[in-house]
Structure 1
Amino acid sequence: MAIEARQRKDFQHFHTITTRWMDNDAYGHVNNVVYYSWFDTVVNQFLISNGVLDIETSPVIGLVIETQCNYLASVAFPDVVEAGVSVTKLGNSSVRYEVGIFKNGEDSAAAQGHFVHVYVDRHSRRPTAIPEPMRQLLQTIQPG
């Protein structure tokens, strides 16, 4: 089954990431596990830079409960990638983020996937409602 690459226009926020020599594996391309760190980076960069998440003190934190990635084109050091993110489902305590990885300014994703955060109380680790300032920010990256 062929998977159609998503396009830049499908994503609302972007973050540039420089690949590193150590990202390449023995086969000469970025290892699959690195993509998941890029997914985490673009989401957390968005939340932190917009002031709705403090990784040391926020009373509510997001835990990843599901993740998936499709690899469509090879990425290798020294490529520069842009990770795009959109929110496609915003629940009471959970968020589904769609992420696309675009290399060297291309319009079609080299990789794409999703992950789901469940927001929990930092101390009890029990699900809790997404704080209103965070919810309002997440709504800004929901597709039209």
Structure 2
Amino acid sequence: MDFKVKTEQRVAWGDMDAFGHVNNVVYLRYFESARVKYFDDIPELAGFQGAEIPVLANVSCSFKKPVVYPDTLTMHVGVTKLGHASLQMSCQMISPKVGLAAVAECTIVLIDVNKGHSVRVPNVWRAAIEKIEEKTF
């Protein structure tokens, strides 16, 4: 995948666990930060204001190589599928020291918090995502 959005993530000393590498839960936090940055960079989507919000429905992570302090990772993130009420995202964690460290995939569902059920992805969201990804879903 040709990722359009990239962000840097510094590894903190406290991110490591007793085994001397970044803890697996921290990888998921790094991926979360990259996903949020993707949306924060879209003025129409920043802050998720209103009744319709994205909710993480599923996430998976394949750990490729351990990461240790100090390091600065490049997080590559993008939307791979855009459905009627959900979207799929992919994220790669690249370390200048070890290369590809992990890959994450997730499904995000758009819900109406007042009604408690999924809603269609608004056209403004779809247009903004398609502009970033430089393709039509």
**Secondary structure, aligned partner of 1:135:** helix
Q: Distance in 1 between matches of 2:119 and 2:111?
A: 5
Residues 12 and 141, structure 1, Cα contact 8 Å, conserved in 2:
yes
Find 2:105's aligned residue among 98, 114, 124. Answer: 114
Range moving further from structure 2, 65-74 or 96-105 = 96-105
Structure 1 residues not aligned, in runs of 5+: 1-8
Q: 1:44 aligns with which of 13, 36, 41?
A: 36
Is the contact made by 1:12 and 1:143 (CA closer than 8 Å) also made in structure 2? no
Q: CA deviation at 1:98?
A: 0.8
Selected match of 2:84 from 92, 97, 106: 92
Are the counterparts in 2 of residues 23 and 34 from structure 1 also a CA contact under 8 Å?
A: yes
User: What are the Cα deviations for residues 46-91 of structure 1, in whole angstroms up to 9, with x where unaligned?
Assistant: 1122213343623321111111111111111211011111211110
130-139 vs 31-40, which deviates more? 130-139
Alpha-carbon distance between aligned partners in 2 of 1:142 and 1:93, rounded to the nearest angstrom: 20
Q: Which has the higher contact order (CA 8 A, sep 6+)?
A: 1
Q: 1:118 to 1:56 in 2, by over 3 A?
A: closer
Q: Measure, in 1, the Cα distance between the counterparts of 2:126 and 2:48.
A: 20
Task: Tell me if the contact between 1:101 and 1:111 (Cα under 8 Å) persists in the aligned partners.
Answer: yes
Say whether 1:33 aligns with 2:25.
yes
Structure 1 residues 118 and 142: CA distance shift in structure 2, 3 A: farther
Report the CA distance shift for 1:47/1:56 in structure 2 as closer, same or farther (over 3 A). Answer: closer
Which ranges of structure 2 fall in alignment gaps of 5 or more residues?
A: none
Q: Hey, which of these two has a bigger chunk of strand by percent?
A: 2
Question: 1:119: Cα distance to partner?
Answer: 0.5
The Cα of 1:143 is off from its aligned counterpart by 7.0
Provide the rounded CA distance (Å) in 1 between the counterparts of 2:93 and 2:47: 24
